[in-house]
Amino acid sequence: MRKNELIDSIATETGLSKADATKALDAFIGATTQALQQGDDVALVGFGTFSVSERAARTGRNPQTGEEIKIPASKVPSFKAGKGLKDSVNHR
């Protein structure tokens, strides 16, 4: 499902116009992004938790040349599915 399809689904389920559904989705994405940038988690009970994980620096290998490269430490967004989401996916 792409963003436009998700907007259509939100509009249909809620009775909102597509413009309002777009604003709502964009607001959710913006608020989630801002919370993660500040180091906060975003927990949606029954759905899951968005958080920031830290990756340690490591040594990798260029697949074309075989040359070793240093990959710096970084922070990456992660998502852990909640029980309700896991159960709904497993029982289809």
Level-2 CATH architecture, domain 3-90 = Irregular (4.10)
pLDDT digits (tens, 9 = 90+) for 15-39: 999 999 999 999 999 999 999 999 9
Domain boundaries, the chain: 3-90
Confidence of residue 91 (pLDDT cuts 50, 70, 90): confident
Residue the block writes with tokens 């949606």: 44
Dist. CA 68–CA 33, nearest whole Å: 33
Helix (H) or strand (E) holding 14: helix 3-14
Dist. CA 48–CA 29, nearest whole Å: 15
Helix (H) or strand (E) holding 92: none
pLDDT digits (tens, 9 = 90+) for 41-71: 999 999 999 999 999 999 999 999 999 999 9
